[in-house]
A and B are shown apart, each in its own frame.
Chain A
Amino acid sequence: GDSVTQMEGPVTLSEEAFLTINCTYTATGYPSLFWYVQYPGEGLQLLLKATKADDKGSNKGFEATYRKETTSFHLEKGSVQVSDSAVYFCALSLNAGKSTFGDGTTLTVKP
C-alpha cells in the first residue's frame, strides 16, 4: 500500500541553523505531496505542496522539491527560528482528500 517515511526525530537546532527533514514515499500511482505543520494543541496547517515531478513547493522560507526518481520530498529551510518549533508531517495524496501521512518529525529550535 501507499506509505510515507520521515526521518526520525526529535530534531534540535540552534536558531539560524539549516534544516533538512527527509521524507520518502511509496505510492501505487502518481501522488501529490504535502508538508503539514502542527503546533502544540492545534490541528494541521498546510505548509507547502507539489503536484508533479520537479515541482518545488515553498512557503515561509521552507522549500521541498518533488523528486520522482528518488521518491523523495525533503523539507528544507535555510535559517530556522524559534517560532518554527513544531511537528512536521509529510503526506501524499492520490485521491482528493484521502491522504497518507508519515509519523511526524518534532523540531525544537533553541535561541
Chain B
Amino acid sequence: ETGVTQSPTHLIKTRGQQVTLRCSSQSGHNTVSWYQQALGQGPQFIFQYYREEENGRGNFPPRFSGLQFPNYSSELNVNALELDDSALYLCASSFGTGGGLGGDYEQYFGPGTRLTVT
C-alpha cells in the first residue's frame, strides 16, 4: 500500500509568482484535504476535494485553488504569491462519502512541501 506523497519537497518562489503543489493520495482513498502550516503553528484547513469537486473551503482567498483528478491525486495552486504564503503545505487523504456530518474519517498526511516566498 502506497502512502501519501507530495512534490516537490522544497520550493523557493518570488513574491507575485505562481506555484503548483502536487499530492498523490493513498490507494483506496477518494478525498484529499490541503492544509497550510505556518512555522510554529498548527495546520490550517485550506480546502477539500471529493471525487474531483471542491467539498468545503477554509478562510483562504480565491488565489488558492485546486484540482482533483480521476485517480484522486490533487494539485494546489497559489497565484500572486505573498511573503505570508511561506509555510509547509500538507496534503491529507481519506475515504469519505461526500462531506456529510461525521468526523470519524482518518486522514493520512503526506510529508509536506516547504514553500518559501522571497
Alpha-carbon distance between A4 and B105 when the two chains are bound, in angstroms: 18
Residue of A45, A89, A93 contacting most chain B CB atoms (<10 Å): A93
Alpha-carbon distance between A99 and B109 when the two chains are bound, in angstroms: 12
| 21 cross-chain CB contacts under 8 A | A43-B90, A43-B109, A43-B111, A44-B90, A49-B104, A49-B106, A95-B100, A95-B101, A96-B100, A96-B102, A96-B103, A96-B104, A97-B92, A97-B94, A97-B105, A97-B107, A98-B45, A99-B45, A103-B40, A103-B42, A104-B41
Q: Is the interface of B mostly helix, strand, loop or mixed?
A: loop
Q: B103 contacts which of A4, A43, A99, A102 (Cβ < 8 Å)?
A: A99
Which residue of chain A has its CB nearest to the CB of B97? A96
Contact with A along B75-91 (1 / 0, CB 8 A): 00000000000000010
Q: A29-B101, A44-B109, A51-B104 are in contact. Are A96 and B42 (CB under 8 A)?
A: no
**Chain A residues with CB under 8 A of B33:** 97-99
Q: A44 contacts which of B40, B43, B58 (Cβ < 8 Å)?
A: B43
Contact of A75 with B by CB under 8 A? no
**Is there an interface contact between B42 and A98, defined as CB atoms closer than 8 Å?**
no
Alpha-carbon distance between A100 and B43 when the two chains are bound, in angstroms: 8
Contact of A32 with B by CB under 8 A? yes
Alpha-carbon distance between A53 and B10 when the two chains are bound, in angstroms: 41
B38 CB to closest chain A CB (Å) equals 10
Alpha-carbon distance between A4 and B103 when the two chains are bound, in angstroms: 15
**Chain A residues with CB under 8 A of B56:** 95, 98
Q: Which residues of B contact A (CB under 8 A)?
A: 4, 31, 33, 35, 40-45, 48, 56, 58, 90, 92, 94, 96-97, 99-112
**Is there an interface contact between B42 and A89, defined as CB atoms closer than 8 Å?**
yes
Q: Is the interface of A mostly helix, strand, loop or mixed?
A: strand
Alpha-carbon distance between A96 and B56 when the two chains are bound, in angstroms: 10
**Chain B residues with CB under 8 A of A51:** 103-104
**Is there an interface contact between B112 and A43, defined as CB atoms closer than 8 Å?**
yes
Which residue of chain B has its CB nearest to the CB of A52? B104
**Chain B residues with CB under 8 A of A45:** 109
